[in-house]
Amino acid sequence: MVLQIGDKFVDGKIDLPNLYSRHPELVSTGAKFASIPCRSLQGSDGVLYIRQKENVVTFHGDKFDDGKTVKKLGTQDVLTCHVVTLHHPETGVTAFAHFDEYLERYERYDTLEAFLDKFQRLVIHRTYYGYQDDDYDNNDNWEWYDDDDENYEEADENDSDNIDEELFSSITLQVVGGLKEESGKGGVLSKRILSFFATHHLTFKLTLACLGPVNTRPSRGPAQPIVGGVLCDLTKNKCRLYPATFNRSFLADLPEDSITTLMLGPALIKKPERLKKMIYEQEDKGFSAKNNRAL
């Protein structure tokens, strides 16, 4: 339907310059966000980390494969890319994505629709079946219905289009990234993403747009982002974003022979895919994205 900005609405396709000129408060909130001191995460406990092109839908209290609790989401290496965050306050469901310039015209709606659909499904699940997650072993909390009960209507979490739009009337949207540089790729991607949400049948409350010039550091050399990494804190059932960096050095605790191989050069390695896998495993050591709702 529209993007809601305060008590105003944006309907239809829109680019970043137009959005900022019509809603200068977004420039102020974006600049304020960019001025927050960058948090450096040395540990990885409770952090679900995603890379470029990846996304996750989760909630505070969700579990990793190892049984530990998901407390925070994170990503970095954000240049012209965009970090998109959706949050549903009533259920605490949060969707977190790292979209890059290859969100091409012919596929962008499929990609964004799939991301949004995954978000909606978990909101529905948490709304109608949430007690199964939290109190599965406590049968006293179960509500039983007879199939012949005329007042019983089962919600279909696989058909989000049939759910009352009131359930999704409070979705917040935050977008960070979109470095402004000579190619203009960041601005093009901003327009694609903002237009998608502004023309969707749901309403999204845009509370943060730290994009383009607001997220570009003044420099005589190559353009550099002010915020190159984002941390999403899910504690207290909230969705708070902070500029952040993540300690992902893949040389830490790497076997000496592997380090020697890297120093000799990847061109000498017979199976480069094994090197790529090794680097990924070390780079994200501790920042596990192994989660049944990730990717």
pLDDT, one tens digit per residue, over 72-101 is: 999 999 999 999 999 999 999 999 999 987
Check if the beta carbon of residue 15 is closer than 8 Å to that of residue 190: yes
Could you give the C-alpha distances from 161 to 96, 117, 155, 177, in angstroms and in order?
21, 9, 11, 30
Average pLDDT, the chain: 80
- The single-letter DSSP state of residue 81 is -
Q: pLDDT confidence of 260, banded at 50, 70, 90?
A: low
Q: Looking at the DSSP assignment, which residues form a beta bridge with residue 59?
A: 93
- pLDDT for residue 274: 64
| Residue appearing with tokens 């050399």 | 221
Q: Give phi and psi for 246, each to the nearest 5.
A: -125, 135
**Angle in degrees, CA 22, 115, 5, rounded to 5:** 20
So what's the pLDDT on residue 128? 85
Give the integer Cα–Cα distance in Å for 98 and 69.
22
- Give the length of the chain: 295
Query: Starting from the edge strand earliest in sequence, which strands make up the sheet with 72-76, in order?
Result: 39-41, 240-246, 229-233, 72-76, 47-49
pLDDT category, 157, cuts 50, 70, 90? very low
Q: Which CATH number fits domain 2-248: 3.30.2350.10, 3.30.1330.200, 3.40.1710.10, 1.10.3210.10?
A: 3.30.1330.200
- Radius of gyration of the chain measured on its C-alpha atoms: 21
The token duo for 160 is 């989000």
Name the least confident of 137-151, 159-173, 183-197, 211-225.
137-151
**What pLDDT was estimated at residue 291?**
44
